[in-house]
Amino acid sequence: MHEMSIAESLMDQIIDIAETNHMESVAEVELETGHLRQVIPEVMREAFLAVTQGTIADGAKLIINEVEPLAACRQCRREFTPQIDDFLCPQCRQADVDILKGDEIILKSVVGN
Amino acid sequence: MKINVVKKVLQANDIVARKNREAFKAAGILALNFISSPGSGKTTLLEKTIPALLPERKSIVLVGDLQTTRDAERLAPRALQATQINTGMSCHLYANQIAESLECLSLTAGDFLFIENVGNMVCPGEFDLGENLKVILLSIPEGDDKVAKYPTIFRAADLVLLTKCDLMQALKFDVNLVKDDIAKLNANVKLLPISSQSGEGMEEWLGWLQEKRVEAIGKQSKFFTE
Ligand SMILES: Nc1nc2c(ncn2[C@@H]2O[C@H](COP(=O)(O)OP(=O)(O)O)[C@@H](O)[C@H]2O)c(=O)[nH]1
Ligand SMILES: [Mg+2]
Ligand SMILES: [Zn+2]
Using CA atoms of B34, B39, B45, B46 in order, give the dihedral in degrees to the nearest 10: 60
| pLDDT tens-digit map of A9-45 | 999 999 999 999 999 999 999 999 999 999 999 999 9
For B25-80, the pLDDT digits (tens) are 999 999 999 999 999 999 999 999 999 999 999 999 999 999 999 999 999 999 99
**% of chain B at pLDDT higher than 90:** 88
Q: Which residue of B has its CA nearest to A5?
A: B123
Best mutation target, A1, A2, A98, to test chain B (most B CBs within 10 A): A2
The pTM score is 0.94
Residue B46 CA: nearest ligand 1 atom is 15
Q: Which fold would CATH assign to domain A2-68+102-112?
A: hypothetical protein PF0899 fold (3.30.2320)
Domain boundaries, chain A: 2-68+102-112
pLDDT (0 to 100) of residue A1: 65
Longest dimension (CA), chain B: 64
Closest Cα of chain B to A31: distance in Å? 9
Q: Answer whether B190 touches A (CB < 8 Å).
A: no
Give the domain extent around B50. Answer: 12-216
Does residue B226 surpass a pLDDT of 50?
no
C-beta atoms of B5 and A104 within 8 A = no
Contact between A87 and A71 (Cβ < 8 Å): yes
- Is the CB of B164 inside a 6 Å radius of any atom of ligand 1? yes
Q: Hey, are the CB atoms on B224 and A9 less than 8 Å from each other?
A: no
CA distance B127 to chain A (A): 9
Share of chain B above pLDDT 70, in %: 98
Residue B191 and residue A98: Cα distance in Å, rounded?
Answer: 21
Mean pLDDT score, A58-85: 97
B28: region left, alpha or beta (phi > 0 left; psi from -120 to 50 alpha): left
Residue B221's pLDDT is what? 79
How high is the pLDDT of residue B87? Answer: 87
B223 pLDDT above the threshold of 70: no
% of chain A at pLDDT higher than 70? 99
The Cα–Cα gap between B207 and B190 comes to 13
Of A5, A34, A112, the CB nearest to B92: A5
Average pLDDT over residues A96-102: 95
pLDDT score for B225? 45
Q: According to the model, what pLDDT value does residue B126 have? A: 86
pLDDT tens, B111-126?
Answer: 999 999 999 999 898 8
B226 in a structural domain: no
Query: Could you read off the pLDDT of B122-171 as tens digits, one per residue?
Result: 989 889 999 999 999 999 999 999 999 999 999 999 999 999 999 999 99
Alpha carbons A45 and A65: distance in angstroms, whole number: 12
Residue B91 forms part of a structural domain: yes
Find chain B residues with C-beta within 8 A of A7's C-beta.
none
State percent of chain A over pLDDT 90: 97
Chain B residues close to A108, C-beta within 8 Å = 4-6
What pLDDT sits at residue A95?
97
Residue B3 within any structural domain of the chain? no
* CA of A44 vs chain B CAs: smallest distance (Å): 13
Residue B106: inside a domain: yes
Residue B35: give its domain's CATH number: 3.40.50.300
Measured CA to CA, the distance from residue B131 to residue B45 in angstroms comes to: 19
Looking at residue B125, what is its pLDDT? Answer: 87
Nearest CA in chain A to B154: A85
Residue from B35, B36, B44 whose mutation best tests the ligand 1 pocket (most atoms within 8 A of CB): B44
DSSP string, chain B: -EEEEEEETTHHHHHHHHHHHHHHHHHT-EEEEEE--TTSSHHHHHHHHHHHHTTTS-EEEEEEESS-SHHHHHHTTTSSEEEEEE-TT-SS--HHHHHHHHTT--GGG-SEEEEE--S-SSGGGT---S-SEEEEEEEGGG-TTHHHHSHHHHHT-SEEEEE-GGGTTTTT--HHHHHHHHHHH-TT-EEEE--TTT-TTHHHHHHHHHHHHHH-TTPPPP-S--
Write the pLDDT tens digit of every residue in B192-207: 999 999 999 999 999 9
Number of domains observed in the structure of chain B: 1
Torsion angles phi and psi, residue B178, rounded to 5? -65, -45
By alpha-carbon position, which residue is closest to atom 12 of ligand 1?
Answer: B39
